[in-house]
Amino acid sequence: MIGNTGIIFIMPTVVVMDVSLSMTRPVSIEGSEEYQRKHLAAHGLTMLFEHMATNYKLEFTALVVFSSLWELMVPFTRDYNTLQEALSNMDDYDKTCLESALVGVCNIVQQEWGGAIPCQVVLVTDGCLGIGRGSLRHSLATQNQRSESNRFPLPFPFPSKLYIMCMANLEELQSTDSLECLERLIDLNNGEGQIFTIDGPLCLKNVQSMFGKLIDLAYTPFHAVLKCGHLTADVQVFPRPEPFVVDEEIDPIPKVINTDLEIVGFIDIADISSPPVLSRHLVLPIALNKEGDEVGTGITDDNEDENSANQIAGKIPNFCVLLHGSLKVEGMVAIVQLGPEWHGMLYSQADSKKKSNLMMSLFEPGPEPLPWLGKMAQLGPISDAKENPYGEDDNKSPFPLQPKNKRSYAQNVTVWIKPSGLQTDVQKILRNARKLPEKTQTFYKELNRLRKAALAFGFLDLLKGVADMLERECTLLPETAHPDAAFQLTHAAQQLKLASTGTSEYAAYDQNITPLHTDFSGSSTERI
């Protein structure tokens, strides 16, 4: 999120907990006290919060409870102790109304993050859809009969993934239409999300297994090895990079970045400028002790054990720290290979005057993601060049590369937004026509410019009209006029009339009308 203090990269989570009466249904577990479904849900969420407290310390999470109404129990926070305490203080309410909960999620996320930050929504329910008005069946049945002001909250008005955690097994959901309705929710969210059910009987172990699948899918840290020659560093990329699907491919296959991130070169910040990127990520060093065990990522925490681990990590030399400092001091970025024909860049991003982070931005896959740099495979070290492309005094740059073909916006195009523009162009041709043969070169230049524009716009009547004007000018030539003038005007009018028919032979866009060679033109045509 762009703010006054810099850029913060987040993917917040909203946990939506069902606290309706159906969640209080008992679950018999042999050899233990009687549990309710809400206890199983709280147990699974506790497992998720503990995992995020260890591996996703930078992430923000909010807790919402709902029945017929919704309530924000814990606003977005990084304090997972507060979230776990809130789980044990939830009350029981009335019937289930999923739509109200989804409306609450929309309001909370938009108020806190706006509509551009991707968010993950974890909906924990038992699969009961409610009864009567406000039930999910009723909401889906009336979805297409609503006004724009009362639209169904899915798809969410922000990038999102909806994960539905059912405190029921598949057989129980299939005995009614609950599973079908929940699948409709995923479909309405543009297919972004997944439904998880308990495998086997309802017990703590199977609930842990279900939440473990969610963690593996959405909350597993992305660990990679950053390489530059013989130097390496174990890093965590946060948030986890999402697979990218290339739209142009006939059979699109999601592209995922390699776990080996190899630096292939360095380039000045001024040369790479501010390129378009798919996503931006923090790159955090992971310190390893001599036995190869993780010590930490260097993220501060209030816990004393974490502080001591971070102190140990701070004393171990790390290439990631060296790279960050070097890029910051030298004002350069590192080009990193993410996969076949896929690159990104590593750079230092200032969060404030005293704090900066090592960031990684992902370019679009392809051999030439940044046109002004040319093809990535053709970039090489300065030492390979015959002379320094930056000059002896570092006062020039080889970039941006000039494109081989002229861009449409870089050419002098003819614009006829107002009638006065068209009138000016026609008058220019007539003025040059009256000064033939001296203005032969200018006359044909303006005539061809108007001809190309008329063909591009499909304005064929204009060509016939200008041809009639030239014929009229020919009849009005004074007796003292040069004989070549009448021949050129007649020739130009005839060519315009042929082009106005639209026949491909005479109306080719790239074809130009050339001056007519006559016995009177003499040296004037030789100059053209």
Q: What is the pLDDT of residues 168-196, one digit of tens each?
A: 888 888 888 788 888 999 999 998 999 99
Expressed as residue numbers, the domain containing 470 is 421-507
In a domain, 375, yes or no: yes
- Residues whose CB falls within 8 Å of the CB of residue 511, separated by 6 or more in sequence, listed in order: none
* 211 and 236 assigned to the same domain: no
In a domain, 402, yes or no: no
* 214 and 227 assigned to the same domain: no
pLDDT at 208: 92
| Strand locations in 286-355 (E) | 287-288, 294-296, 332-339, 342-350
Q: How far apart are CA 352 and CA 356, in angstroms?
A: 7
* 175 and 269 assigned to the same domain: no
In a domain, 303, yes or no: no
* 271 and 136 assigned to the same domain: no
**Residue 487, H or E segment:** helix 483-500
* 318 and 456 assigned to the same domain: no
Alpha helices by DSSP H, 331-417? none
In a domain, 395, yes or no: no
**Tokens 């660990």 belong to which residue?**
223
pLDDT at 517: 85
Phi, psi of 373 (to 5 degrees): -100, -10
In a domain, 212, yes or no: yes
* 152 and 230 assigned to the same domain: no
Residue 94 CB neighbours (<10 A): 12
* 229 and 327 assigned to the same domain: yes
In a domain, 394, yes or no: no
* 210 and 226 assigned to the same domain: no
pLDDT at 301: 46
In a domain, 514, yes or no: no
* 215 and 229 assigned to the same domain: no
Q: What is the pLDDT of residues 273-311, one digit of tens each?
A: 889 998 889 898 886 554 545 555 544 444 555 555 555
In a domain, 2, yes or no: no
Q: Residue 109's closest CA among 138, 139, 132, 76?
A: 76
The answer to whether 441 and 527 are in contact (CB under 8 A) is yes
The answer to whether 500 and 494 are in contact (CB under 8 A) is no
**Residue 310, H or E segment:** helix 304-314
Q: What is the CATH number for 35?
A: 3.40.50.410
- Work out how many domains the chain is built from and give that number: 3
Q: What is the mean pLDDT of each run of 10 residues along the chain (528 residues)?
A: 40 91 79 77 92 86 91 92 89 86 92 89 88 82 80 88 91 84 90 90 89 90 90 88 77 84 91 88 75 51 53 71 90 91 90 81 90 87 82 77 67 82 92 90 92 90 93 89 90 91 80 84 44
* 192 and 227 assigned to the same domain: no
* 197 and 228 assigned to the same domain: no
pLDDT at 122: 94
